[in-house]
Amino acid sequence: MFEQSISTLAQKLRNKDISSVELTRLFLARIAKLDPQLNSYITVSEQRALEQAATADALIQNGKGTSLTGIPIAHKDLFCTEGTLTTCGSKMLNNFIPPYESTVTSRIQQAGAVMLGKTNMDEFAMGSSNENSFYGAVKNPWNLDMVPGGSSGGSAAAIAAGLAVAATGTDTGGSIRQPASFCGITGLKPTYGRVSRFGMIAYASSLDQGGPMAKSAEDCAHLMQAMAGFDEKDSTSADTPSEDYLANLNAPLTGLKIGLPKEYFGEGLDSQVADIIMAAVKEFEKLGATVKEISLPNLQLSIPSYYVIAPSEASSNLSRFDGVRFGHRCDDPKDLLDMYMRSRAEGFGTEVQKRIMVGTYALSEGYYDAYYLKAQKIRRLIKEDFVKALDEVDVIMGPVAPTTAFGLGSKTSDPVAMYLEDIYTLSVNLAGIPAMSVPAGFANGMPVGLQVMGNYFAEAKLLNVAHQYQQNTDWHLQTPTMAKGA
Active site residues: 76, 151, 175
Residue 242: phi and psi, rounded to 5, are -75, 155
443 alpha-carbon distance from chain centroid:
22
* Cα–Cα distance for residue pair 59/329, rounded to 1 Å: 43
CA 278, 280, 286, 288 dihedral sign is negative
By three-state DSSP, how is residue 210 classified? strand
From 42, 132, 49, select the one nearest 79 (Cα to Cα): 42
C-alpha distances in angstroms, 226 versus 52, 177, 195? 17, 20, 10
DSSP string, 23-34: HHHHHHHHHHHH
Torsion of CA 291, 297, 298, 302, to 10 degrees: 40
Rama region for 478: left / alpha / beta (φ>0; ψ in -120 to 50; rest): beta
Strand arrangement, sheet containing 257-261: 41-44, 114-119, 72-76, 166-170, 210-214, 186-189, 435-443, 446-454, 395-399, 257-261, 290-294
C-alpha distances in angstroms, 178 versus 141, 156, 229? 15, 9, 25
* Cα–Cα distance for residue pair 190/317, rounded to 1 Å: 22
Task: Identify the DSSP state of 407.
Answer: B
C-alpha distances in angstroms, 233 versus 80, 197, 200? 14, 9, 12
What is the number of residues in the chain?
A: 486
Bond into 312 cis (ω within 30): no
